Amino acid sequence: MNAPSKPTIGVFDSGFGGLTVLRELLPLIPGADYVYVGDTARLPYGSKSRVTIARYAMESAQFLLDRGAEVLVIACNTATALALPDIHSVAGGTPVVGVIEPAAHAIRPALPGQSAHVLVLATAATVGSHAYEIALSKLALVATEKACPLLVPLIEEGWIDHPVTREVLRIYLREALDICTPDVVLLGCTHYPLIAPLVAQTLRELGCPARVIDSARTTAVSVSAIVPHNASPLSAAGATFTCYATDSVEKFARLGSHFLGQPIPNVTLLDLGG
Amino acid sequence: MNAPSKPTIGVFDSGFGGLTVLRELLPLIPGADYVYVGDTARLPYGSKSRVTIARYAMESAQFLLDRGAEVLVIACNTATALALPDIHSVAGGTPVVGVIEPAAHAIRPALPGQSAHVLVLATAATVGSHAYEIALSKLALVATEKACPLLVPLIEEGWIDHPVTREVLRIYLREALDICTPDVVLLGCTHYPLIAPLVAQTLRELGCPARVIDSARTTAVSVSAIVPHNASPLSAAGATFTCYATDSVEKFARLGSHFLGQPIPNVTLLDLGG
């Protein structure tokens, strides 16, 4: 029994999208306890003001700290873009990892050229914040940000490998490739890993050789670099996760299982206020 | 100057969808002053609990009453389905008109047959409430409710007469027509009037002779029956409307103009609380 030495990792998103980050974390840091908060009662964050989003994110961060989190993973693009400093102020010395910086840092070494170009696919809110463009420009990477508002609803409808999703993706990518020639296509939304194969296939069909990188994966890799862990297969059996949602726990378990790639046996209703 | 005799009509929705109801009201009751509240900071209501939705709706209703509204139009399916009694309690003796009852009452006279069947197209939240099914069953109308979660995002993307919207609609309608043979198709979402022609056309293509009725239109007709008004063309010049939104006024003006069918010159930011 090595329970006392297991790190507790807190993961936070406005919904279930952040479960794609948890899915990447589980095999990478299998000897940890995970606590996930989906603030589903107050989603989507994208249409709300910075002040409101910061308040929501700080409430979730505080809950995770109270539950013993030794690392906070902000698996939410909007909260990362708009509230990272506020979350740091709540977290004190506890490390905080967002979804944006890790993606930018993962791309730079893969593209040694000066004029490397990244196409960022994201929600309208994330594109409006230009958070990826700013993070990438600090590493001398040029970004084109493309808002893809229909992809989240299509993924939540369960139309993962569906002709309509294929056609919508083709329209969005064609519009983007008309104005840029990317070396990398970055999936800047935690929902998008579910259609990563479709993105890669559509890019090939459009004659674009760009590599697809998803920020769920790069975030998990970044967390694994700062959490002391034993990634041996033996410790895998010790990974546990607990999920909290601020609205319908039934819906969270049902929809969330697609994002996590496994059933979510228990979801606890959490009241973070109005 | 007949300003003192002009009725003030308050219209409320969680977003801009309710502007399709205002669009129907303007020519029907042209001699009125309209005050519209879009609670865009807290949308969508569909994913929230009944208690929360009731609180939000009562706050907006109170604001409209304070602004002098003599009639409250709840141009929001979720608030109508879940919070009509609460809004009545705030309104006191002021008449309150929701979007659901008027649609049910408009359909009944058009379908004298015993076994008349209504196909209701709506959001997942409205379908989950079964509010249309309940209202229609009181009038001995049989309802099949079909959730169409992708239609609102497609309409908000501006893909009104678009091959993808056409295909999505065909999929939804084919699924519904597999299990029922409707006499009427009721558009049970304030966004859907924008694609009413596409719904009618797709039904024809699928060999279904059902009539399309939209709840924005039937709601406006119901309001015109209780508001004393002069619908002569002369009074049309006197209609004014003022819009309030609880989040980005720029976005409200831009997106809302498609729903209202005319520019929205001024939108005022309204703070109803978190």
CA distance A78 to chain B (A): 15
**CA dist., res. B248 & res. A37, Å (int):** 27
Q: How far is CA A9 from CA A25, A224, B51, in A?
A: 10, 11, 33
Q: What is the dihedral of CA A78, A82, A88, A89, to 10 degrees?
A: -130
User: Which are the contacts of B141, defined by CB distance < 8 A and separation ≥ 6?
Assistant: B104, B107, B108, B111, B116, B117, B118
Q: Do A41 and B48 touch (CB under 8 A)?
A: yes
> With 90 as the cut, is the pLDDT of residue B238 above it?
no
B76 is catalytic: yes
pLDDT of residue A229: 62
> With 50 as the cut, is the pLDDT of residue B2 above it?
no
Q: Do B164 and A164 touch (CB under 8 A)?
A: yes
A148 is catalytic: no
Nearest chain A residue (CA) to B251: A47
pLDDT of residue B109: 83
Report helix, strand or coil for B35.
strand
Residues 159-198 of A with CB under 8 A from B: 163-164, 167-168, 171
- Contact of A158 with chain B, judged by CB distance below 8 Å, is answered with no
Comparing C-alpha atoms, which of B72, B11, B18, B88 is closest to residue B255?
B18
Q: Are B144 and B182 in contact (CB under 8 A)?
A: yes
**CA dist., res. B89 & res. B55, Å (int):** 12
Chain A interface test: which of B14, B168, B247 (most A C-beta within 10 Å)? B168
Q: Predicted ipTM? A: 0.85
| Catalytic residue of the set A76, A148, A208, A243 | A76
> With 90 as the cut, is the pLDDT of residue B29 above it?
yes
Q: Are B38 and B14 in contact (CB under 8 A)?
A: yes
Report helix, strand or coil for B265.
coil
**pLDDT for B188-221, tens place per residue?**
999 999 999 999 999 999 999 999 999 999 999 9
Burial class (CB in 10 A: 0-12, 13-18, 19+), A37: buried
CA distance A223 to chain B (A): 31
Q: Do B167 and A168 touch (CB under 8 A)?
A: no
Q: Are B241 and B22 in contact (CB under 8 A)?
A: yes
Q: Do A167 and B163 touch (CB under 8 A)?
A: yes
Q: Are A65 and A90 in contact (CB under 8 A)?
A: yes
Residues of chain A with CATH 3.40.50.1860: 3-98+218-269, 100-215
DSSP A7: P
Cβ atoms within 10 Å of B156's Cβ, excluding its own: 20
- Contact of B134 with chain A, judged by CB distance below 8 Å, is answered with no
- In degrees and rounded to multiples of 5, residue B146 shows phi and psi of -120, 115
> With 90 as the cut, is the pLDDT of residue B110 above it?
no
CA distance B79 to chain A (A): 16
- Out of 1.10.1740.10, 3.30.565.10, 3.40.50.360, 3.40.50.1860, which CATH number does the structure's domain A100-215 have? 3.40.50.1860
- In degrees and rounded to multiples of 5, residue A268 shows phi and psi of -105, 135
Chain A interface test: which of B43, B129, B152, B164 (most A C-beta within 10 Å)? B164
> With 50 as the cut, is the pLDDT of residue B3 above it?
no
Q: How far is CA A81 from CA A45, A50, A87, B38, B181, in A?
A: 11, 9, 11, 26, 49
- Contact of B128 with chain A, judged by CB distance below 8 Å, is answered with no
- Which has the higher per-residue pLDDT, B143 or B124? B143
Comparing C-alpha atoms, which of B130, B66, B74, B134 is closest to residue B99?
B74
**pLDDT for B248-260, tens place per residue?**
899 899 999 999 9
Q: Are A194 and A162 in contact (CB under 8 A)?
A: no
**CA dist., res. B244 & res. B112, Å (int):** 41
- Nearest by CB to A153, which of B47, B149, B163? B149
**CA dist., res. A74 & res. A11, Å (int):** 6
CA distance B143 to chain A (A): 23
Q: Do B274 and A41 touch (CB under 8 A)?
A: no
Helix axes B163-177, B196-205, angle to 10 degrees: 60
> With 70 as the cut, is the pLDDT of residue B271 above it?
yes
Q: Are A220 and A28 in contact (CB under 8 A)?
A: yes
- Contact of B235 with chain A, judged by CB distance below 8 Å, is answered with no
pLDDT of residue A230: 55
Q: Do B153 and A150 touch (CB under 8 A)?
A: yes
Nearest chain B residue (CA) to A167: B164
DSSP codes of every residue in B168-223: HHHHHHHHHHTT---SEEEE-STTGGGGHHHHHHHHHHTT--PEEEEHHHHHHHHH
> With 70 as the cut, is the pLDDT of residue B168 above it?
yes
What is the CA A195 to chain-centroid distance, rounded?
A: 14
- Contact of A125 with chain B, judged by CB distance below 8 Å, is answered with no
**CA dist., res. A88 & res. B248, Å (int):** 27
- Contact of B58 with chain A, judged by CB distance below 8 Å, is answered with no
The CATH code of the domain at A3-98+218-269 is 3.40.50.1860
Nearest chain B residue (CA) to A165: B164
**Residues in chain A where the model's pLDDT stays below 50:** 1-4, 231-236
